[in-house]
Structure 1
Amino acid sequence: MGILSWILFGLIAGALGKLLMPGKDPGGCLITIILGIVGAVVGGFIATQFGYGKVDGFNIGSFFFAVIGTMILLAGYRLMIKKDD
């Protein structure tokens, strides 16, 4: 995928991940894009480790794992913030 595809994919996956896990999270559009892109990497790694095969391209499977990865990152962020309170 090209860089514009990664940005669009990250925006959609990050927005859906934030929608599925509402709460007080930082950032606007740029943070959501970065969260979605990193979530896609995390989700792809997890999918590969569990034997779901190679996750690449813009398809339903990679999108699903990108959203799962985004939600994992959000949960980790919330756990880190909660410890500091």
Structure 2
Amino acid sequence: MEITGIISAIIIGIAIGALGRLVIPGRQHLPIWLTIVIGIVAALAGTAIAAALGVADTGGIDWIELVIQIGLAALGVSVADGMYGRRKR
């Protein structure tokens, strides 16, 4: 992977992680680095799922892929918040 690929993965991970956090109601007690990691993993997994479904390469913005990525990020943030919150208390 090239350095531009790593930088773009981090930027996309920040955006997807933040959107995943916004979808979950209430306050999450997660550090920002964990949100970024969840966003990067969700972006990569969402792209793989969209490619498997055949909706990854469409003309214009890939809305279905974006919804899958945000949904996975929301699921990841919810699970991580449950685990991280229990550990802190």
Q: What is the TM-score of this pair, normalised by structure 2? A: 0.63
Superposition misfits of 4+ residues, deviation over 4 angstroms: 78-85
Q: Which 5+ residue runs of structure 2 have no aligned equivalent? A: none
What pairs with 1:4-83 in structure 2 (closer than 5 Å)?
4-22=7-25, 23-28=27-32, 30-48=33-51, 51-54=53-56, 59-61=61-63, 62-78=65-81, 80=83
Q: What is the TM-score of this pair, normalised by structure 1? A: 0.65
Higher radius of gyration, 1 or 2: 2
Give the percent of matched residue pairs that are identical in Structure 1 and Structure 2: 26
